[in-house]
Amino acid sequence: MTASPPAQPRTVYKVRAMSVEACSCAHACNCQFVGIPTEGFCEFIIGYDIKDGRFGDVDLAGVRFVVAAKYPGAIHEGNAHVVLFVDDDTLPEQVQALATILTGQAGGMPWEALAGTVGKLEGPIMAPIEMAIQGQLARISIPGALELETTPITDVVSGEEKEVYIVYPRGGFFWNEGNVVTTATMRVEHPSLRMSWPAKYAATAEVLWTNAA
């Protein structure tokens, strides 16, 4: 009997990034509470600006990327159409490391779980990405493909800006504490994936990912 070759150790990664997400849900996003989107389907944009991170020997600091997706039902029900945009300044080894993480091949949450919900994946599409995330204000621009801008929620009576947070004391799926805002602009104009959801739910947050035990 021939012995099986030893399993190759997977590359360890750790990432800290700022994120901005916006979707088709009403404010607060019903998916955050019971897992079922407000509209019965889920369409979203999430942008990430990696502040610190390594995939093995590959430094990921400064990498920016955007995920645009359409799910016909709830995220956990799967069959998503996903388009991945990566900033065109990203080095080839960084792109490969990022693709390995996002497709779940390296393990670690949330990507290990999300990978099984994707029916069609396009990308990585290399494109110039402008991204700024600061508190309640965030902006993403991919010329000819995607625009997202967030703004604080305002009180309907006083007109004053609100600060609203969703906090997961035991840890959340995408993040642990989200700064809930709304969308001034939110649209995707990719040839095979289009959406537009202004004045809907959005949130900014810090995310931490790792496959380390």
Give me the pLDDT at residue 1, please: 45
Give me the pLDDT at residue 35, please: 87
Could you please report the per-residue DSSP string of 63-130? -EEEEEEEESS-GGG--EEEEEEEETTS-HHHHHHHHHHHTTTT--TTHHHHGGGEEEEEEEEEE--E
The phi and psi torsions of 114 (rounded to 5 degrees) equal -65, -30
CA distances from 101 to 108, 160, 209 (A): 8, 41, 10
> What are the pLDDT digits (tens) for 123-168?
999 999 999 999 999 999 999 999 999 999 999 899 899 999 999 9
Give me the pLDDT at residue 8, please: 59
User: Residues in the chain with pLDDT < 70?
Assistant: 1-8
Q: Where are the domains of the chain?
A: 13-207
Whole-model pTM: value is 0.93
The angle at the Cα of 29, spanning 24 to 32, to the nearest 5 degrees, equals 135
